[in-house]
Structure 1
Amino acid sequence: MLTFAAAVFFLIATPGPGVLSTAGVGSAFGAGPGTRYVAGLFLGTNIVALAVISGLAAVVLADPRIRTVLFVASTCYLLYLAFRIATAGSRIAFIEARREPGLRDGLALQAINPKAYAVNTALFSGFAFLPGAPLAEVAIKLLIVNAIWLPLHFLWLGAGIWLGRLDLGAGTQRAINIGMAASMLAVVGLAMSTLA
Structure 2
Amino acid sequence: MLTFATAVILLILTPGPGVMTTAGFGAAYGFRPSLRYVLGLFIGTNLVLLAVVSGLAAILMSIPWLRTVLMLVSVSYLLYLAVRIATAGARVAFMEARVPPGITGGVLLQVINPKAYAVNTSLMTGFSYAPDAQVFELASKVLILNAIWIPIHLAWLWAGVSLHRLDLSERTHHRINIAMALALLGVVALAMWSATRPHHP
C-alpha separation between the residues in 1 aligned to 2:36 and 2:106?
Answer: 8
Tell me, in whole angstroms, the C-alpha distance in 2 between the residues paired with 1:93 and 1:7.
21
- Aligned partners of 2:169, 2:162: CA distance in 1, in Å? 15
Aligned AA for 1:9? I
Is residue 33 of structure 2 the alignment partner of residue 33 of structure 1?
A: yes
1:89-110 per-residue CA deviation (whole Å, 9 max, x = no partner) reads 5x55521122211111111110
Tell me, yes or no, if the aligned pair for 2:17 and 2:113 is still in contact at 8 Å.
yes
Aligned residue in 2 for 1:164: 164
Aligned 8 A contact 1:86 1:178 in 2: no
How do 1:68-79 residues align onto structure 2 when only pairs under 5 Å count?
none
State the TM-score, normalizing by the size of structure 1. Answer: 0.72
Q: Which residue of 1 aligns with 2:123?
A: 123
Match 1:86 to one of 88, 102, 120: 88
C-alpha deviation, 1:31, in angstroms: 0.8
Aligned partner letter, 1:86: A
Q: Deviations over 1:43-99 (max 9, x none)?
A: 11111011000115899xxxxxxxxxxx9xxx7xx88xx49x825x5x555211222
Q: Deviations over 1:129-183 (max 9, x none)?
A: 2222212211111000001111111111111000011122344335445666x57
Distance 1:173 1:7 in 2: 25
What amino acid does structure 1 have at the position aligned with 2:88? A
> Could you tell me which residue of structure 2 aligns to residue 148 of structure 1?
148
Consecutive unaligned residues of structure 2, counting only runs of 5 or more, are 60-72, 193-201
Query: Which amino acid is the alignment partner of residue 7 of structure 1?
Result: A
Q: Distance in 1 between matches of 2:146 and 2:157?
A: 16
The verdict on how the C-alpha distance between 1:132 and 1:160 changes in structure 2, with shifts beyond 3 A counting, is: same
Contact persistence 1:129–1:137 (CA under 8 A):
yes
Question: Which position in structure 2 is the counterpart of 1:23?
Answer: 23
Shift in CA distance, 58/33, structure 1 to aligned 2, threshold 3 Å: farther
**Structure 1, gaps ≥5 residues long:** 60-70
**What is the Cα deviation at residue 40 of structure 1?**
0.7
1:110 and 1:58 map into 2 onto residues whose CA distance is: 22
CA-CA distance at 1:7 after TM superposition: 1.3
Partner of 1:42: 42
Q: Which residue of 1 aligns with 2:68?
A: none
Which residue of 1 is the match for residue 135 of structure 2?
135
Q: Does the 8 Å contact 2:23/2:158 carry over to 1?
A: yes
Aligned length in residues: 169
